[in-house]
Amino acid sequence: MTAMVLAFFSCSSDDSGDDTNPIDEPIVETGGFKWKENGGSFIEADSAFFASQWNTIKVYKADRFIEINLTTGIAGTYPIGTSNALSMLVNNDVYIAGAGSLVVSENASGKMSGTFTSTGTGAGIIALEGAFEDIEVR
């Protein structure tokens, strides 16, 4: 019996090992904003919203503040670079994304959802990725 149980738990139905795009799986299931720094564990924001007056997503969590500036707030893909910017203040240091993209999958009924990936430098961070679902549009 023990051998059967061990054999059962040692097998996997998915041995592909391909987790190159973890954003494909739902990160945020009940609304909110979550992200990973350098591929680590997800961090969940205390507060996140889209300020429509400035086309900016603002995210707060303890010693972190993320600001994502977009050219518009409509659904679509936004390349991160000169026209669209992503930065994160960590204590007294700043991560600035140099490349990546943000996808707004929905902006309707006062709520915004989407995903993002970026690479950059500062605050000991070289990669930032995450997702947001039903954050408030103000």
Is residue 18 assigned to a domain?
A: no
pTM of the complete model? 0.79
Count of domains observed in the chain? 1
Bridge partners (DSSP) of residue 93 are: 90
Residue 55's pLDDT is what? Answer: 98
Is residue 79 assigned to a domain?
A: yes
% of the chain exceeding 70 in pLDDT: 78
Bridge partners (DSSP) of residue 38 are: none
Is residue 7 assigned to a domain?
A: no
33-51 tens-digit pLDDT: 999 999 999 999 999 999 9
pLDDT interval class at 20 (50, 70, 90): very low
Judging by DSSP bridges, how do beta strands 64-69 and 32-37 pair with one another?
A: unpaired
Is residue 8 assigned to a domain?
A: no
Are the beta carbons of 44 and 31 closer than 8 angstroms? Answer: no
Q: Hey, which bits of the chain come out as E strands? A: 32-37, 43-44, 47-51, 56-61, 64-69, 76-79, 85-90, 93-108, 111-121, 127-137
Could you list the residue range(s) of the whole structural domain that residue 49 is in? 29-137
Q: Which residue has the higher pLDDT, 85 or 24?
A: 85
Is residue 19 assigned to a domain?
A: no
Is residue 133 assigned to a domain?
A: yes
